[in-house]
């Protein structure tokens, strides 16, 4: 019985750790995307802090959101009928 407790305990502790690791990678990915957007807008000649620079950043986010929607196979429109029992 004692031998079964250790794997169960390790599993119990590993699940939250995996969840935290996935959050960190998402945050890191978003931070990297923000840096890339800023760099891209600078390369296009927009001055950081200007209204045009802010518009460029917003446009970059919009382009990424559209791309993510198009790449998502679960996104779409439809009509469904359901029966609840």
Q: Give 4-37 as a DSSP string.
A: HHHHHHHHHHHHHHHHHHHHHHHHHHHHHHHHHH
* Alpha carbons 26 and 33: distance in angstroms, whole number: 11
Asked whether the predicted pLDDT for residue 84 surpasses 70, the reply is no
pTM over cut 0.75: no
| CB distance 41 to 53 below 8 Å | yes
The per-residue pLDDT for range 30-71, each reduced to its tens digit, is 899 999 999 999 999 999 999 999 999 999 999 998 888 888
Q: How many CB atoms lie within 10 A of CB 73?
A: 6
Write the CA distances from 50 to 7, 31, 33, 64, integer angstroms. 56, 21, 20, 22
* Alpha carbons 68 and 38: distance in angstroms, whole number: 19
- Say which residue, 77 or 2, is predicted with more confidence: 77
């Amino acid at each position: 019985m004692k031998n079964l407790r250790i794997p169960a305990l390790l599993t119990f502790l590993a699940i939250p750790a995996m969840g935290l690791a996935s959050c960190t990678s998402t945050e890191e990915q978003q931070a990297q995307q923000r840096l890339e957007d800023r760099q891209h807008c600078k390369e296009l000649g927009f001055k950081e802090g200007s209204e045009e620079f802010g518009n460029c950043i917003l446009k970059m986010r919009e382009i990424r959101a559209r791309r993510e929607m198009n790449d998502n196979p679960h996104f779409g429109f439809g009509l469904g009928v359901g029966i609840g029992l």
